[in-house]
A and B are shown apart, each in its own frame.
Chain A
């Protein structure tokens, strides 16, 4: 059974539609990617999942049940714009937030210590949040979202503003939570994170879900438009004149990146290159999620 089922939800603000007929399911132990440009309706969707706003139409089910008070304690939320009480000690505010989610003081305190140890920052236990660096505040914020062991976790831009080391740390933590059975709704603008973490995604554009499904299937729908070729000797002449090649970019380290518009252009490029000498690399690239996103959303986005 799916932990989270979203069925054709519609939300209007006056005469403006914020979310129009979105459906998706998140299985236990799955990270679901929710993508879209700013203002596409992601935050409204998340707020509906969190029960802050009721959808005008459609249903949201949590482990098969409708939204209710008992659902509150199984939801975890990391908001896009981070916020904690700046002047209150880490342990006090985390325990407070955990208590609001229905945890006992003692359990919350134990969990907090465990998480701080895991992030290798046990010394922050009694510090005020304003004394911590931005990246460390983010770790605390992350702990606030997961302290009560939520079944369904909503992460809005979880990794923004972190250095690469901390991104890896949080990413591996998210994966652990997933492997532990948590269902995660994940929103970000960093496509490489989506490719790494998510099984299924929805791309939203102007309130509508425009692209939905497993990443693998989505990629198959898009033509393979990029070819990488690198010759052993360095340069390859005359690539521009091959039929179906639209653009040639020469990379600094010697390779060529070609943009092609015909499916069989790849074979012609390979033959052309081999006729000039040995080649060390030839690859017909899968479209990246970044390209797919820009193609779907970017063209009519100002």
Chain B
């Protein structure tokens, strides 16, 4: 290992790892992930089935419909709604709602056109999503029952009518022997999603960190001493690698926290419902994830380092970083769009553009079936541009760190490169 590079790397690592900001951020994120990991279970617990929402109705109004609703909820194993009869008019219902005896109440109005009463659910908040959709379903059932009761159908026919249709989606694979099962597909979507978000966060956070540190060294003029002690190239790579290791350590801690929690027995059921099964994780997909993560990280990191080197004051950094930040954002949003349209022409084109390909090629591998040459071409272009941009960034860095004053233009940088003979 090269001595100067190693020294810079260790110094970067030590300072980052021991900084309060890093420790606090890692802890907060870990706690957040533990909560997220247990969220399905917690939601289940908090909205426990025994507490049915109480819905009031005026005694004697639309007895057939009310009885239908009562029958419907009565046959459910865990009814989410309990109908409460309240004597009196609308005013009494309102009073009951105000006192909290009921969470809402039903009002019926005759509707000659449909032959079924128009129903209003009155609640304190208009956002009673769960209750009203449950009521809609129940009322629909009651209405169907009321109509087919007179149609003279057999019970068997009635059952057939109410059985939901079955539609299953299966991805067709042309390279593998068999298509991916639903579990594998769910896992692929989850992994793609996680990887896109992680890469985006790593690029944004680590990239900004690298650029900020370089600019801070420049503005505090430590840079002048450092560049006279160690070659700028070693310094740049020491910094990038050091920050990378810090990001990795953080990532491993966070993923560890998340996976450990997802593995807990009480969470496995909720995961199954989401179609996620960690045991069917496709290992080749994980390898691709690591590959594209690394490629994306270093591509953007060198770019951020180069920009950090040409800015003299930290106040000006945000503005200078804007184009690269936008590039990352565009890549991220195209990828989010691609999650639902992995074969869209936009994705097919952008998968070869190096700044987007870490997001998009991985997405296509996970969710679609790209041909082998597409993958090879995309990775080839990506690796070539990492080398190209790394080389250019190193040159910019070499002259940038010595240029003070206003932010230099492209022309000035090119001129300085010639003058410095780099």
Name A residues whose Cβ lies closer than 8 Å to a Cβ of B.
11-14, 47, 50-54, 72, 75, 77, 79, 81-86, 88, 92-93, 96-97, 99-102, 144-145
Contact partner of A100 (CB less than 8 A), chosen from B14, B220, B230, B421, is B230
Which of B11, B226, B227, B416 has the most chain A CB atoms closer than 10 A to its own CB?
B11
Closest A residue by C-beta to B221: A83
Closest A residue by C-beta to B15: A88
A interface footprint on B3-31 (CB within 8 Å = 1, 0 otherwise): 11001100100110000000000000000
B98 within 8 A of A: no
Q: How far is the CA of A100 from the CA of B235 in the complex (A)?
A: 10
Q: How far is the CA of A269 from the CA of B384 in the complex (A)?
A: 83
A107 nearest CB across to chain B (Å):
14
Give chain A residues whose Cβ lies under 8 Å from the Cβ of B227. Answer: 52
Contact A85 B229 (CB under 8 A): no
B314 nearest CB across to chain A (Å):
12
Give chain B residues whose Cβ lies under 8 Å from the Cβ of A54. Answer: 420-421
Q: How far is the CA of A214 from the CA of B205 in the complex (A)?
A: 56
* A83 and B220 contact, Cβ closer than 8 Å, known pairs A53-B420, A99-B7: yes
Give chain A residues whose Cβ lies under 8 Å from the Cβ of B220. Answer: 83-86
Contact A14 B8 (CB under 8 A): no
B335 nearest CB across to chain A (Å):
36
B46 within 8 A of A: no
Give chain A residues whose Cβ lies under 8 Å from the Cβ of B171. Answer: none
Give chain A residues whose Cβ lies under 8 Å from the Cβ of B221. Answer: 79, 81-83
Q: How far is the CA of A145 from the CA of B253 in the complex (A)?
A: 40
B139 nearest CB across to chain A (Å):
65
A interface footprint on B411-422 (CB within 8 Å = 1, 0 otherwise): 000011001110
Give chain A residues whose Cβ lies under 8 Å from the Cβ of B419. Answer: 11-14, 53
Q: When A and B form their complex, which 7 residue pairs have the shortest distance between CB atoms, in order from nearest?
A: A83-B221, A100-B229, A79-B224, A83-B220, A83-B222, A50-B228, A99-B7
B262 within 8 A of A: no
Contact partner of B223 (CB less than 8 A), chosen from A83, A96, A99, A145, is A83
Contact A52 B225 (CB under 8 A): no
Contact A97 B15 (CB under 8 A): no
A91 nearest CB across to chain B (Å):
12
B402 within 8 A of A: yes
25 contacts between A and B (CB under 8 A): A11-B419, A13-B416, A47-B402, A52-B227, A52-B402, A54-B421, A72-B229, A77-B225, A77-B228, A81-B221, A81-B224, A83-B217, A83-B222, A83-B223, A83-B224, A88-B15, A92-B14, A92-B15, A93-B222, A100-B4, A100-B7, A100-B8, A100-B229, A100-B230, A101-B229
Contact B11 A96 (CB under 8 A): yes
A-B contact count (CB 8 A): 64
Which of B15, B228, B402, B420 has the most chain A CB atoms closer than 10 A to its own CB?
B228
Give chain B residues whose Cβ lies under 8 Å from the Cβ of A11. Answer: 419
Name B residues whose Cβ lies closer than 8 Å to a Cβ of A.
3-4, 7-8, 11, 14-15, 217, 220-230, 402, 415-416, 419-421
Q: How far is the CA of A83 from the CA of B415 in the complex (A)?
A: 27
Q: How far is the CA of A88 from the CA of B420 in the complex (A)?
A: 32
Contact A51 B421 (CB under 8 A): no
Which of A14, A52, A92, A144 has the most chain B CB atoms closer than 10 A to its own CB?
A52
Give chain B residues whose Cβ lies under 8 Å from the Cβ of A88. Answer: 15
Give chain B residues whose Cβ lies under 8 Å from the Cβ of A84. Answer: 220, 222
Q: How far is the CA of A279 from the CA of B114 in the complex (A)?
A: 130
B78 nearest CB across to chain A (Å):
57
Closest A residue by C-beta to B226: A100
Closest B residue by C-beta to A95: B11
Give chain A residues whose Cβ lies under 8 Å from the Cβ of B421. Answer: 54
Q: How far is the CA of A145 from the CA of B415 in the complex (A)?
A: 31
* A96 and B7 contact, Cβ closer than 8 Å, known pairs A14-B415, A84-B220: yes
B23 nearest CB across to chain A (Å):
15
Q: How far is the CA of A79 from the CA of B225 in the complex (A)?
A: 7
Closest B residue by C-beta to A144: B225
Give chain B residues whose Cβ lies under 8 Å from the Cβ of A144. Answer: 225
Give chain B residues whose Cβ lies under 8 Å from the Cβ of A50. Answer: 228
A139 nearest CB across to chain B (Å):
15
